[in-house]
Amino acid sequence: MSQIDPAAPSADPFAPVIAAALCETPVRVKPLPLPDGDQLWLKRVEDATHRNWQRKGDMRRLLRREREACVALGAAGLPVVALVDGHTDWLVTRDAGANLRHLLRAADTCARERQAAFAAAGEALARLHRAGVTHGRPTMRSICWDGTTVRFISLSRTAMRRRRKRHFALDVLIFIHSCLCADRSAHEALGAALTAYLAHAPEGTWGAVRRMALLAAMVAPAAAAVKLVARRPASRELMALPLALAYVSARRR
């Protein structure tokens, strides 16, 4: 990927939009509206504080990994966002639609649309796993639906080599936890996603999910989670942890 020179003419219709955005103060993620009503997304390296650097890691390395994953998985025909351009400190992707968190919470999303999106998300995650790929953090914000197709974004933690079932299981647990974190009552949508996932997933993955959930329940029991919630009462993530473990325990297949 090449650096864009704002002063250089280009046949690329996106180049002027990207070049103008790169002249502005960096923000981590920014939409870039296009004249036709569509939009691109610009992700940049921020001037991070030491605390953010510790929490997020080397942002240039993560951005490089995301670019590489976009290219490799896109070339393999897997359901990931399309990369437009990129450089050391930034990348630009196509818009992939609304994320699943928005679909769960938006009052104007009908149940049929939500079910279709989640079923497609489950099947898409299974496609990654059958290809030996793990997303690494398939949360509701990292999966987008454009009305017909699901695509994964935020690919900096994606692993593209063959993985064991425990790695697939961790992806599934993260998906379940994120869904219940966004909406505790989203069992119908979550069920649609898991039914589609299990119909296409590598054999034995659900058994690995259940074993991992059992281990997590022993290592971090609900009592410990309650204590943490008492310290951070606004933490939806902590509140959703016992819900996710209970959901896995109750679902057989």
Q: Is the pLDDT of residue 51 over 90?
A: no
Q: Domain check: are 145 and 167 in the same one? A: yes
Cα gap 192→106, rounded to integer Å:
18
pLDDT at 66: 95
| Within-domain flag for 162 | yes
- CATH number, domain of 52, equals 3.30.200
Cβ proximity of 213 and 249 under 8 Å: yes
How far is C-alpha 141 from the chain's CA centre?
A: 5
Q: Domain check: are 228 and 132 in the same one? A: yes
| Within-domain flag for 230 | yes
Reported for 65-72, long-range contacts at CB under 8 A and 24+ positions apart, including other chains, are 65/155, 65/156, 65/157, 65/158, 66/91, 66/154, 66/155, 66/156, 66/158, 67/1, 67/91, 69/155, 69/156, 69/158, 69/160, 70/155, 72/160
For residue 224, which phi and psi values (nearest 5 degrees)? -65, -40
| Within-domain flag for 4 | no
Q: Domain check: are 87 and 170 in the same one? A: no
- Higher-pLDDT residue of 225, 103: 103
Cα gap 241→246, rounded to integer Å:
9
How many other CB atoms are there within 10 angstroms of residue 215's CB atom? Answer: 11
Q: Is the pLDDT of residue 149 over 60?
A: yes
Cβ proximity of 48 and 56 under 8 Å: yes
Q: Domain check: are 88 and 126 in the same one? A: no
Tokens of 32: 């870039």
Q: Is the pLDDT of residue 80 over 90?
A: yes
pLDDT at 50: 43
What does pTM read for this prediction? 0.87
Find the domain containing 159 and state its range. 98-250
Q: Which residues contact 37 (CB under 8 A, 6 or more apart)?
A: none
pLDDT at 162: 67
pLDDT averaged over the chain? 87
pLDDT at 222: 52
Cβ proximity of 193 and 171 under 8 Å: no
Number of independent structural domains in the chain: 2
- Higher-pLDDT residue of 3, 101: 101
Cα gap 66→80, rounded to integer Å:
11
Helix, strand or coil, per DSSP, at residue 158: coil
